Structure 1
Amino acid sequence: MDRYDVRNYPPRQDSVAAARRRAAWLAVAWGQPEMATDVALVTSELTTNAVLHGSVADRYVRVELRLTGALLRIEVTDPKGERRPEPRRAADDEQYGRGLQIVGALAQRWGASERVVGKTVWAELAGRGPR
């Protein structure tokens, strides 16, 4: 059985925590508790990037999760299509700059899709399938 959830969040830092909690809860509710931590972390990183680099005042960030079989896909859409995600090497003393490396380490694959307005950054994680 496929599962799907979508929520819109205001472009504020507290939205990151809300999206992270919801993603972890959904992974457990959808029978994939072993994925909850990774799903929460990937959702947090993608949502943080959207809020920091892709947000526009009064335009929401959309977080979608879809479970199809054993594959859980996380999509985060923001209104700034001109700001494409690019992994970078952060210096040891930098606080930021490692998010996409974390996403790449946890996800089977990830990428970005252009939209008419904005972009969607997505990641796919593999679980154990339906229960």
Structure 2
Amino acid sequence: MQDPDPDPTFELALLAVPKAVPEVRRTLSCHPYGDPHPDVQLCVSELLSNVIRHVGEGTPVTVRLTSARGRVRVAVTDPDPRAWPLLRRVGGDDETGRGLALLDAVSLRWGVEQGPDSKTVWCELEGGRHGVALPT
């Protein structure tokens, strides 16, 4: 696994509630790392939404963005090491279940890191001139 810089370029601790999702998207669009990148906003939204749906509304989370070696890592940490996300197939009539498929489609790779009292779901996106321009 590629190690990101140890110091996040962006870090935000919050409660995972539905109104936080658009607020974080807006915060990212105003963050001084350059032009807002829709894939970063999409990944953060999907990871936060998964916490709300599968761990519980009001769960404390930390959102981090880091940049290393031409990639941007988006990570969301929550306090439930057991509720792991699963990529699943959805049918045309299914109303939910597409979040990880979207994340899988736009990211270079993604995964889960388990701690003793938490887990971090992360994904990596291409950085650089046409990707996300975070300072190094």
Smaller-chain TM-score bracket: 0.7 to 0.9
**Pairing 1:7-86 to 2, within 5 Å after superposition:** 7-26=12-31, 29-31=32-34, 33=35, 36-55=37-56, 57=58, 59-86=59-86
Partner amino acid for 1:20?
Answer: R
Q: Please provide the CA RMSD for this pair.
A: 2.3
TM-aligned CA deviation for residue 4 of structure 1: 1.3
Distance in 2 (CA, whole Å) between partners of 1:23 and 1:73 is 14
Distance in 2 (CA, whole Å) between partners of 1:16 and 1:41 is 10
- The structure that is helix-richer by fraction is 1
Partner amino acid for 2:46?
Answer: E
Partner amino acid for 2:37?
Answer: A
**Unaligned ranges ≥5, structure 2:** none
Work out the percentage of aligned pairs sharing the same amino acid.
Answer: 32
Partner amino acid for 1:93?
Answer: D
SS at match of 1:48: helix
CA deviations on 1:83-117 (whole Å, 9 max, x unpaired) are 11111112212221011111111111100000121
TM-score, with normalisation over the residues of structure 1?
0.83
Distance in 2 (CA, whole Å) between partners of 1:44 and 1:3 is 18
